[in-house]
Structure 1
Amino acid sequence: METYSYLGPAGTFTEAALKQVPEAEGAVWRSVNNVGEAFADVVSGRSVAAMIAIENSIEGGVTATQDALANIPNLRIIGEYLVPVRFDLVATPGTKLEDVTIVNAHPVAYGQCHSWLDTNLPHHGHIPSSSNVAAAASLLESSTADAAIAPAGIETHYAVEVLASNIGDNPNAVTRFVLVSRTTALPESTGYDKTSLIIELPEDRAGTLLEMLEQFATRGVNLSLIQSRPIGDSMGRYRFVIDADGHIRDERMADALLGLRRFSPGLIFLGSYPRADRALIAHPSRYADEVFTDARAWLDNLLGQ
């Protein structure tokens, strides 16, 4: 039976993302502690794929995931999934909101609930937790915290009660997850695809970043994400994590990738896959596939004379 890895334990947002994968239904779900362990499962073949958080609409890119994708070869993103971020304040049964003086929470969750906490618990203290679920679980052990910030629905997994619901400062917060595998099979283009890349700037000089971006701009390829990460071998050396609208089978995207490969031999292709929101990609008619194929036919005709 196939196995899928995810950042656990049960009740996490990552598990909620994995529930959206039809192929994972009925398979073995392996809970892991961190991104490195999840990717190690995929590389070793222990799991066919791993569900990993890659971007949050409030906090931005998940750097641990981005750096791992840059440094572990032959990984491919095969799917994208969105999970609304909803946090509750929970405590052991019998605890009242006015009893809470110390809150256990993952630092990211704590940051996203800070305004609510300052308003409703202005004198509280904070104990950092390793995960959102671990924060709730710690309340059932010997803990100095009176309450915890945890994902909505955590009370179905642990014997805790909800003191306040949906306490996040931004009601529209969403986390984007990706399913990562070692398969090299490309899904067909759907018209609502996304292509993920990691690109290293070949040198540190004026205009290099502009040259990279021009590879997309001159072919009408829109970028939905661009984030820099230090390569780490010296100061001033960066790689860029990029999500581009379109599929590698689209002529404009394929032509952009050829230009990027000439520009930077350090180009990493992470995959082309359907967007989670299924939003169709719009582009000017001058960047339609037939424009590129007609231009190539014109050149081939000239060369054949």
Structure 2
Amino acid sequence: MTFEPESSARRTYSFLGPVGTFTEAALAQVPEARGQEWRSVHNVGEALADVVSGRSHAAVIAIENSVDGGVSTAQDALATMPGLRIIGEYLVPVEFVLVGRPGAKLEDVALISAHPVAYAQCLQWLSSTLPAHAHVPAASNVASAMGMLEGTSDADAAISPPGVLEHHELELLASKIGDNADAVTRFVLVARTVAPPSPTGADKTSLIVELPEDHPGALLEMLEQFATRGINLSLLASRPIGDALGRYRFVIDADGHIEDERMADALLGLRRFSPKVIFLGSYPRADHAVVHYPERYSNDVFAEARDWLRALISGEPEA
């Protein structure tokens, strides 16, 4: 999928580096990024700023984890940086390995370097296999291994994604050490604002909506814009706006495409309801699951209702 005419110039894609991260594994799933320039950045803000400035054609960022929920830094950045649009999503299984310096042995491990989230997701395995270990936090899943190799960390081993072994000379001490074998992280491909790709029937629409005011039933009023049109929500997460206590915006993933009559009607309802609705994009689902809905919410039903209303206004006799 592309959002501008193709040219002979190589395109640049930003991702949270360094090489070997889960984000790089997600970028490897993007067909149009293969053979192009991949730019490693230090944080989500930098990746999205690359897109806004035109330095990069698009960026891949983590948006949700099946164990830890939404990635707040990514959600907040999308809420506050204008001119961005999600054009695709990709799923990466979360698998961790324990690595050491060349020649290291598992029984000698006493101090483990790991990003706090990765450490938490491997704690059961660590407690049963290395009960006497100590933990030193690392800035990222790959930084944990790099600090050990470069001598900036005293750790005997590091928790990292499997991809780190493809780029660095490390000893594999244990594989599949995560406590949840079904853990997965959802990544999105973000470009500058463009028209959404055509509907496929297996689509998702992402939004950020602010409540107009804090009053009883305000959240219910927002949710009714979807419920009364037969739209299922696969993600509903609250994030503080930051200007006062009790003020929240809601990150929403809704099943369907903006060109679906029921979704378009829901967005019109949201726009009337909320002072700020951010449309992040309609794009194909990574799991290709077809969106099913009752027949009373089909496009034809919405079109017939509009035609009926026009006929009433024009004074046409009822059939």
* TM-score normalised by length of structure 1: 0.99
Give the aligned partner of residue 259 of structure 1.
Answer: 269
CA contact (8 A) 1:196 1:269 kept: yes
Give the aligned partner of residue 241 of structure 1.
Answer: 251
Give the aligned partner of residue 7 of structure 2.
Answer: none
C-alpha distance in structure 2 between counterparts of 1:174 and 1:140, whole Å: 28
| TM-aligned CA deviation for residue 183 of structure 1 | 3.4
Q: Does 1:47 align with 2:53?
A: no
Alignment match of 2:172 (pick from 154, 158, 162) = 162
Give the aligned partner of residue 200 of structure 1.
Answer: 210
Q: What per-residue deviation string (whole Å, max 9, x for no partner) do you get for residues 125-164 of structure 1?
A: 1111111111111111222100000001322211111100
Q: Does 1:135 align with 2:144?
A: yes
Give the aligned partner of residue 209 of structure 1.
Answer: 219
Moved more, 123-132 or 291-300: 123-132
RMSD (Å), alpha carbons? 0.7
The letter of the residue matching 1:108 is: V
Q: Is the partner of 1:291 in helix, strand or coil?
A: helix
C-alpha distance in structure 2 between counterparts of 1:154 and 1:236, whole Å: 42
Q: Does 1:282 align with 2:306?
A: no
Q: What per-residue deviation string (whole Å, max 9, x for no partner) do you get for residues 222-258 of structure 1?
A: 0000000000100110000000000000000000000
Alignment match of 1:268 (pick from 278, 289, 304) = 278
Q: Is the partner of 2:204 in helix, strand or coil?
A: strand
C-alpha distance in structure 1 between counterparts of 2:276 and 2:27, whole Å: 31
Q: Is the partner of 1:221 in helix, strand or coil?
A: coil
C-alpha distance in structure 1 between counterparts of 2:132 and 2:68, whole Å: 25
| TM-aligned CA deviation for residue 96 of structure 1 | 1.1
Moved more, 175-184 or 213-222: 175-184
Q: What per-residue deviation string (whole Å, max 9, x for no partner) do you get for residues 169-215 of structure 1?
A: 00000000000011312111100000000000110110000000000
Q: Does 1:183 align with 2:193?
A: yes
CA contact (8 A) 2:52 2:192 kept: yes
The letter of the residue matching 1:124 is: H
Q: Does 1:232 align with 2:249?
A: no
CA contact (8 A) 2:22 2:92 kept: yes
Give the aligned partner of residue 104 of structure 1.
Answer: 113
Alignment match of 1:11 (pick from 20, 28, 38) = 20
Give the aligned partner of residue 37 of structure 2.
Answer: 28
Alignment match of 1:152 (pick from 155, 162, 165) = 162
Alignment match of 2:125 (pick from 111, 116, 129) = 116
Q: Is the partner of 1:41 in helix, strand or coil?
A: helix
CA contact (8 A) 1:77 1:178 kept: yes
Q: Does 1:80 align with 2:95?
A: no
Give the aligned partner of residue 171 of structure 1.
Answer: 181
Structure 1: unaligned runs, 5 residues or longer: none
Give the aligned partner of residue 65 of structure 1.
Answer: 74
Number of residues of Structure 1 aligned to a counterpart in Structure 2:
305
Structure 2: unaligned runs, 5 residues or longer: 1-9
* TM-score normalised by length of structure 2: 0.95
The letter of the residue matching 2:182 is: N
C-alpha distance in structure 2 between counterparts of 1:96 and 1:304, whole Å: 83
The letter of the residue matching 2:95 is: R
CA contact (8 A) 1:152 1:166 kept: no
CA contact (8 A) 1:113 1:167 kept: yes
CA contact (8 A) 1:136 1:149 kept: yes
Aligned-residue identity in percent: 70
Q: What per-residue deviation string (whole Å, max 9, x for no partner) do you get for residues 68-87 of structure 1?
A: 00000121000000000110
C-alpha distance in structure 2 between counterparts of 1:6 and 1:155, whole Å: 19
